Structure 1
Amino acid sequence: MDTDLRLVLFDVDGTLVDSQAAIVGAMTDAFRGQGLAVPSRSDILSIVGLSLPIACQRLAPTQGDNVIAALVEGYKKSYMTTRQIEGAAHSPLFEGAREMLEVLHTVPEYLLGVATGKSQRGLDTLIDAHNLSCFVTRQVADHHPSKPHPSMVQTALAETGVRAEHCVMIGDTSYDMDMGRAAGVTTIAVSWGYHPLEQLRADHVIHEFTELAPLLRSIWKD
Structure 2
Amino acid sequence: MSEFSKIYLAWRKGSGSRRHIVGLLERDTDNNITFRYLPEAKTLKSTEGFIPYVEFQNLDKVYDINVLSIFAHRLIKTDRPDAQRILDFWEVSAEKVDDKFYLLGKTQGLTATDNFEFLAEYQDGDDLSFLTDLSGLSHYQIPKDFVKNGDSLQYALEKDNVYDPEAVLVSFNGTKLGYIKKVHCRIFKNADNLNLTVKALEQNGVIRKIFIKIST
What TM-score comes out, normalization by structure 1 length? 0.30
More helix, by proportion? 1
More strand, by proportion? 2
| Greater relative contact order (Cα < 8 A, sep 6+) | 1
What TM-score comes out, normalization by structure 2 length? 0.31
